[in-house]
């Protein structure tokens, strides 16, 4: 009986077990389904099709200005289309949307573009940990530094720093960037000031560490300008020198009746402020020309120029510190004469007359040769290559009638320490010859000077600069190179050039072209491209970067090979912008068969 009851109970439990198994399997299946990815659900908002723009990937050397220029846009339009807050800050690899011609910018339909600070750590992806531990050290890039300066001060070469840091663009450095230096040039051991010699100068052992009298200068135009305002700006910038153009043609249009009133006001103001003054004397008046051509040139009688220089120096003796005799006389447009055709021989004859007049009345004043226009053109009629012309000047005894060699080492759109002939990204012309490069022009002049036994004479950079058409009337073909340079690059290159000139050791005062070309010369848009002040009186970015540069005094000792000491400017008064009319479209003569130079 007991057996039967137990069997019945077992039979009754079997359905329960089966039911439990079924429930367990069902739960397992449901759990499996729950872990599977759900099918995408359709949304009521359709995905927008991107058909109104193309994507450009930022490459080394790019900037928003050049990208916009290549695509027929303004910088502000491209920045707005990409929601870029700071147009001066883009980075390699960034995607920039370029709107198609039919596209209407819709900022709300585009995700904001991230702005990244350029990485300041060098790319060491190809550098092993063993290489980093051999003793290599870092250098942190400071404002105004260049690879050339960093290499010189650390006993290495530009090529070595480029290779060690895998730099894609050696012309593009960032303040705060950390650069690896080779183990044989540790910064922990501060290098002594090197004796700077030109590597291409052959056997020269002449050192220039202080005698050149380096100084910071700027060119100022006086036409219809407020002299106290200009004086205040020059002081605020910390400039120790100012350059003023003296066109003989404008001061003495009628023989024997010179009018120095405007020049008197400027000389008195700058001299009272303790600023050294360079007068650049050019352009004979029509009555002195003889053949009276359309273009500028020397007088037919050099005695007339001697009389003018005598009047000029006797008036400003003890207040004007240096005289530059003529400017870019290797170009026909500055030296057109049937009496004295373009040649170094005729120029040195004119220089000799001026030198004697200056030294007779003010022996402490310096005489500087006219800065030559860098040009590869050399037909002897329209232009003479500046390197050839400088050598011809030495062949005609220029070293006996001058205290310094003037130079115009323009950079066009090439960075100050760049070398021929690899263009920076976006530079489409004016890179194919060594005459387009700031540093190479200075080095070539230096080599010629040393080769002629004149290694103790400094080079005075009486004109240099980088123009930018950003925000201004677009340039014509003659000045197309200013469209390659952004305001940010202009603001970077100018301080770098000053620093490079100071580090070379054989460069005297450097005069930036220019402070106020937009306001003083409204009919010459090419002057405005280089100006530190905009047509409306606002300041371009380069003004601020020059203002921020540390400026040290030049040696106090002055001699024919050493400029007067760089003064410490007084605290400037408040500067009031000087309004000027809007600049009209430029009227520029057809380009000559020579490289362009602002004159």
pLDDT digits (tens, 9 = 90+) for 533-585: 999 999 999 999 999 998 874 433 434 444 444 444 444 333 333 333 333 33
Torsion of CA 233, 235, 239, 240, to 10 degrees: 140
Question: For residue range 256-300, what is the model confidence (pLDDT) as tens digits?
Answer: 999 999 999 999 999 999 999 999 999 999 999 987 678 899 999
pLDDT for residue 346 is more than 50: yes
Domain pair 53-109 / 129-181, same fold: yes
Here the tokens at position 450 are 């040393």
Q: Which helix (H) or strand (E) holds 11?
A: helix 2-35
- Predicted pLDDT of residue 361: 97
Report the largest interatomic distance among the alpha carbons of the chain, rounded to a whole angstrom.
155
pTM of the model: 0.67
How far apart are alpha carbons 584 and 562 in whole angstroms?
43
Q: What is the mean pLDDT of residues 24-50?
A: 46
Q: Say what the pLDDT of residue 12 is.
A: 53
Element (H, E) at 545: helix 541-548
For the chain, how big is the Rg over CA atoms in Å? 34
- pLDDT score for 425: 86
Mean pLDDT (whole number) for 420-445: 94
**Looking up tokens 């200075």, which residue turns up?**
442
Encode pLDDT of 485-542 as tens digits.
Answer: 999 999 999 999 999 999 999 999 999 999 999 998 888 999 999 999 999 999 999 9
What's the sign of the alpha-carbon dihedral 494, 418, 448, 390? negative
Written out in words, the top-level CATH class of the domain with range 129-181 is: alpha beta
Average pLDDT over residues 223-246: 95
Architecture per CATH, domain 53-109, reads as Roll (3.10)
Higher pLDDT, 423 or 162: 423
Report pLDDT digits (tens) over 299-331.
Answer: 999 999 999 999 999 999 999 999 999 999 999
Integer angstrom CA distances of residue 491 from 37, 159, 344: 56, 25, 36
Q: What's the rounded Cα separation, in Å, for the pair 564 and 509?
A: 10
- What confidence score (pLDDT) does residue 109 get? 33
Which residues are CB-neighbours of 199 under 8 A, at least 6 positions away? none
Would you say 447 and 200 are in contact if contact means Cβ atoms under 8 Å apart? yes
Is-contact 350 305, C-beta < 8 A? yes
From CA 304, how far away is CA 315, in angstroms rounded?
17
- pLDDT exceeds cutoff 60 at 42: no
In this prediction, residues 152-158 reach a mean pLDDT of 76
Confidence of residue 239 (pLDDT cuts 50, 70, 90): very high
Q: How many CB atoms lie within 10 A of CB 72?
A: 9
Given a contact cutoff of 8 angstroms between Cβ atoms, the answer to whether 65 and 487 are in contact is yes
pLDDT tens for each residue of 132-154: 334 567 888 876 567 766 876 78
Residue 220 has pLDDT above 80, yes or no: yes
Instruction: Provide the pLDDT for residue 472.
Output: 95
Q: What are the boundaries of each domain within the chain?
A: 53-109, 129-181, 215-548
Between the CA of residue 369 and those of 347, 394, 509, 583, what are the distances in Å? 9, 11, 14, 33
Confidence of residue 164 (pLDDT cuts 50, 70, 90): confident
**Inter-axis angle of helices 438-451 and 487-504, to 10 degrees?**
20
- Give the model's confidence band at 591: pLDDT under 50 very low, under 70 low, under 90 confident, else very high: very low
The gap between the terminal CA atoms of the chain, to the nearest Å, is 131
Q: Which CATH number fits domain 215-548: 3.90.550.10, 3.20.20.80, 3.30.420.10, 3.40.50.620?
A: 3.20.20.80
Q: Which of 32-46, 74-88, 423-437 has the lowest mean pLDDT?
A: 32-46
Closest CA to 576 of 340, 269, 232: 232
Q: Are 509 and 461 in contact (CB under 8 A)?
A: yes
């Amino acid at each position: 009986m007991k057996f039967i009851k137990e069997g019945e109970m077992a039979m009754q439990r079997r359905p329960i077990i089966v039911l439990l198994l079924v429930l367990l399997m069902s739960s397992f299946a449901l759990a499996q389904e729950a872990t599977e990815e759900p099918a995408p659900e359709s949304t009521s908002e359709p995905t927008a099709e991107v058909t109104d723009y193309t994507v450009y990937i930022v490459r080394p050397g790019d900037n928003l200005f050049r990208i916009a220029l290549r695509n027929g846009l303004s910088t502000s339009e491209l920045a707005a289309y990409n929601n870029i807050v700071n147009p001066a800050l883009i980075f390699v690899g960034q995607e920039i949307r370029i709107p198609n011609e039919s596209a209407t910018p819709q900022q709300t339909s585009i995700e904001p573009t991230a702005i990244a600070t350029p990485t300041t750590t060098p790319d060491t992806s190809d550098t092993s940990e063993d290489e980093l531990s051999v003793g290599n050290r870092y250098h942190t890039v400071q404002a105004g530094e260049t690879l050339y300066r960093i290499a010189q001060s650390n006993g290495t070469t530009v090529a070595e720093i480029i290779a060690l840091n895998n730099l894609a663009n050696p012309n593009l450095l960032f303040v705060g960037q950390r650069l690896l230096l080779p183990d044989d040039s540790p910064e922990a051991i501060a290098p002594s000031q090197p004796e700077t010699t030109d590597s291409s100068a052959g056997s020269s052992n002449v050192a220039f560490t202080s005698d050149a009298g380096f100084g910071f200068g700027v060119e100022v135009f006086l036409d219809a300008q407020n002299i106290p305002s200009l004086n205040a700006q020059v002081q605020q910038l910390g400039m120790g020198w100012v350059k003023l153009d003296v066109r003989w043609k404008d001061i003495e249009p009628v023989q024997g009746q010179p009018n120095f009133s405007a020049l008197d006001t400027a000389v008195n103001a700058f001299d009272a402020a303790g600023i050294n003054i360079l007068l650049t004397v050019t352009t004979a008046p029509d009555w002195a020309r003889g053949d009276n051509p359309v273009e500028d040139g020397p007088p037919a009688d050099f005695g007339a120029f001697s009389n003018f220089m005598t009047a000029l120096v006797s008036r400003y003796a003890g207040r004007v510190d240096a005289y530059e005799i003529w400017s870019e006389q290797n170009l026909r447009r500055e030296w057109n004469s049937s009496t004295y055709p373009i040649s170094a021989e005729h120029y040195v004859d004119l220089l000799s007359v001026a030198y004697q007049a200056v030294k007779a009345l003010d022996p402490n004043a310096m005489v500087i040769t006219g800065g030559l226009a860098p040009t590869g053109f050399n037909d002897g009629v329209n232009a003479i290559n500046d390197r050839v012309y400088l050598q011809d000047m030495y062949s005609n005894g220029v070293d006996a009638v001058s205290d310094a060699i003037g130079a115009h080492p323009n950079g066009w759109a090439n960075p100050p320490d760049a070398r021929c002939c690899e263009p920076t990204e976006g530079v489409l012309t004016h890179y194919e010859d060594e005459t387009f490069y700031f540093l190479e022009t200075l080095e070539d002049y230096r080599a010629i000077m040393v080769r002629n036994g004149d290694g103790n004479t400094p080079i005075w950079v009486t004109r240099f600069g980088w123009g930018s058409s950003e925000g201004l009337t677009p340039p014509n073909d003659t000045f197309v190179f200013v469209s390659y340079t952004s305001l940010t690059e202009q603001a970077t290159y100018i301080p770098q050039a000053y620093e490079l000139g100071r580090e070379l050791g054989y460069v005297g005062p450097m005069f930036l072209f220019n402070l106020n070309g937009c306001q003083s010369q409204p009919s010459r848009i090419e002057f405005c491209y280089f100006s530190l002040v905009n047509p409306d009186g606002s300041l371009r970015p380069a003004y601020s970067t020059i203002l921020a540069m540390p400026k040290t005094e030049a040696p106090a000792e002055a001699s024919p090979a050493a400029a007067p000491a760089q003064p410490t400017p007084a605290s400037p008064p408040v500067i009031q912008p000087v309004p000027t009319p809007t600049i009209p479209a430029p009227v520029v003569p057809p380009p000559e068969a020579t490289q362009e130079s602002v004159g």
